[in-house]
Each structure stands twice: as C-alpha cells, then as structure tokens.
Amino acid sequence: MDCQYIHKTARIAKYDGRSTIHGDMTSPTLTQRTIGDACAHIAQATHCQAGATIALGGALAAGLAQATANASLDEGVSGEAQAAARRMQQAMSQARLRFQALADQDAEAITAFAALRKRGEALRGYELLCDGPREMADLAIGAAQAMQDYRAHVCTRTKDDLEFALALMSNTAHAAMLLLDSNLRIWPLPELIARYDPHITRLAAAITTLQPVGRIRPPG
C-alpha cells in the first residue's frame, strides 16, 4: 500500500492511499453549512470527500421523495393512499436524517481514523472507513425499495418527482457500494476482505432489484 504513514500537525493528517485532510475543530459540520457553502467546501478541498458527497445525495433524494408524500396528503388522499403517504413521510424523514448524520461522520472519519491508529487500533480505523459506505448503501437500497412500493399510491401531480427521487437514490446506493469496493482495493487487508467482500456481493445483488425508469415518456 502507498503512503504507509500518518503525519499530523494542527491542521494536516495524511492516511493510507486516500487523501490529505485539513481539519478545523471550530468549523461547522458539513450539514450545518448552506447548500452553496457545502458544495464549495467539497469542490475547493484538496482531498475528495466521496462519502460525504454520496450521503448528501442520498439525503436530498430522500427529501424529494418525502415531498411527494407531503403533496399526496395535501391533496386529501384517504384510506390506503393516506396510510402509505404517512409511512413514506416517516421512512424518508428517517433516511434523510441518517444520511445527513453519515455525511457529517464521513467528513470527520479521517480524524477518527488517525486517533485510532495512534492508539494502535489501525484495523478498527479501517473498519470505520468501510462501515460508513456499507451503511449508506444499505440505507439507500431500503429507501429506494420504499419509493418503488409507494409508486402505487403517489398522487398524479408528483408521480414523476418520485421517479426522479428513485433514480437519485438508486445511484446513491451504487456509488456507496463502489466506495466500499474502492476502500478494499486501497487497503486489501485479509481481515477487511473477509469482512466486507460478502457485503459487496450482497449489495450488488440488491442494487439489481432497484428499477428506476429509463424514460418518463414512452420512447417513439
């Protein structure tokens, strides 16, 4: 592996094969920033915050899906459609908040990794960096499946919006799985491969069950 060291100063930490991190304990977390500030923070960094970016995408997709349920209730749906909308509101609200928490956790993960390695717990640090994208992928798959189930109940006005949200969430699941796979390429420790390769196989199979539409209008 490359860069087999950690070097820390008040503002710099380097770790194996991925990035150089500049931290500031007084800065707001990623999700405490405005959307514009968060995008600029990611874009102007000298390291790639892939996990946080993926998690933010999932949070936005969940928020959009929640809005489709809000609109259905606003139109006065009743019976099973009302119950489905309320379930959707709750599920997407929980997913959105968890994605936001994962975005902030990922933004701080390298600092946590450095602390664990300094204590001689490097393997736990690697597991921390792998657990984030694994949870993101699982969360996105679950949210996307809930969106698919809600297709039968969403109101006509926001039917297409649900498809946009599903497409975004499906891509979030795929991107998170790719990030986990990338981590295993960069850190091919036998312990990590044994623990996370089965998750890669499981996640890849689950992603194939997601069915975002290819077109809104029929082709031709």
The CATH number that applies at residue 189 is 1.20.120.680
Please, what is the Cα angle at 124 between 185 and 180, to 5 degrees?
30
Residue 29 DSSP label: P
Query: What is the arithmetic mean of pLDDT over 123-148?
Result: 96
- The pTM for the full model equals 0.85
In a domain, 158, yes or no: yes
CA Rg, the chain, in Å?
19
- What is the Cα 189 distance to its own chain's centre? 24
What are the residues whose beta carbons fall under 8 Å from the beta carbon of 205, sequence distance 6 or more? Answer: none
User: Residue 77 is encoded by which pair of tokens?
Assistant: 């749906």
Domain housing 163? 50-207
Q: Which residue has the higher pLDDT, 216 or 10?
A: 216
pLDDT of residue 45: 85
Q: Which residue has the higher pLDDT, 32 or 96?
A: 96
Question: In whole angstroms, how far apart are CA 102 and each of 11, 133, 163, 196?
Answer: 22, 9, 24, 18
For the chain, give me the number of helices (H) and strands (E)?
6, 2
Convert the pLDDT of each residue in 77-106 to its tens digit.
Answer: 999 999 999 999 999 999 999 999 999 998
Q: Has residue 13 got a pLDDT over 80?
A: no
In a domain, 100, yes or no: yes
